[in-house]
Amino acid sequence: MLKIDLHIHTLLGGDSAIRPDEVVARARQVGLDAVCITEHHAYDLSAPFVQIATRENFPIFRGLEYRAEEGHLLIYGVPAGRGDLLPGLPMQTVVDWVNRRGGAAVPAHPYQEGMVSRALGDRILGLKGIAAIEILNGSVRSDKNERAQWAARQMGLPGIGGSDAHGIQALGNAYTCFEDAFQTESELAQALRAGRYTVQGSSADQRSPTIDLSGQAASSPRFP
């Protein structure tokens, strides 16, 4: 079993308060076996994590979160940067681009509208070639995650979990439990396609607002 938070942002991406050097301690504290850093638009932004992984002796994968025309897309196993993919392309175009390079494309929080963008919504049902759907995003409400779970069932696709953390306390609030171990980012992409994993964690509205020093999600989900 390999527990990985597949969706994390840090200061390197410009919109998160998480310092790169605090990621591993927090990941260990909440019981993760690995993390995957997914800065916005550019794989290269998270390059400092190569050294951090070595220094801390902790597996750190890197991907990216691409902003497509219709919504956000997590990309694993392809080191794409701004030079490869201009922001705002149609999601299907990017999914095809990722697949041609052996990566895995996973729509993120498909039913959560962004600050400036609409949600991908049911248009996800028309996408071809996505490896999985993010069905448990720790930063969105449970009704949005439930809708994503419904879409995954409709499409016969596996679902991943990730915290979408922009603050250190949120890291690990949702994660993916892989049945098989792997070590490289290409193997991560293959594992995402293989579908042998489940999700753990909670949606944003299912946690106590009080600071939980144990790092565990609230044991009794709250439904305000």
Which residues does 61 contact at the CB level (< 8 Å), separation at least 6?
4, 34, 35, 36, 37, 76, 185, 188
Phi and psi at 151, nearest 5°, equal -60, -40
* Residues counted in the chain: 224
Of 53-61, 69-77, 117-125, 215-223: span binding Zn ion (CB under 5 A): 69-77
Token pair of 21, please?
Answer: 């050097």
> Could you tell me if 34 and 4 are in contact, meaning their C-beta atoms sit under 8 angstroms apart?
yes
**Residue with Cβ nearer Zn ion (8 or 152):** 8
Closest CA to 81 of 17, 13, 133, 20: 13
Closest CA to 11 of 3, 1, 19: 19
Which residue in the set 65, 70, 134, 185 belongs to the binding site for Zn ion (CB under 5 A)?
A: 65
- From the list 68, 4, 9, the residue with the least C-alpha distance to 31 is 4
Decide if residue 134 touches Zn ion (CB under 5 A): no
The residue number whose beta carbon is nearest to Zn ion equals 72
Residues 151-180 that bind Zn ion (CB under 5 A): 164
Residue placing its CB nearer to Zn ion in the complex, 115 or 213 = 115
Report the residue number, 63 or 196, with the smaller CB distance to Zn ion.
63
Taking the complex as a whole, the smallest distance from the CB of residue 7 to Zn ion amounts, in Å, to 6
Minimum distance, C-beta of residue 106 to Zn ion, in the bound complex (Å): 11
Q: Is 5 in the site for Zn ion (CB under 5 A)?
A: no
Contacting Zn ion (CB under 5 A), which of 72, 144, 147, 193? 72
Q: Which spans of this chain sit near Zn ion (rule: CB under 5 A)?
A: 65, 72, 108, 164
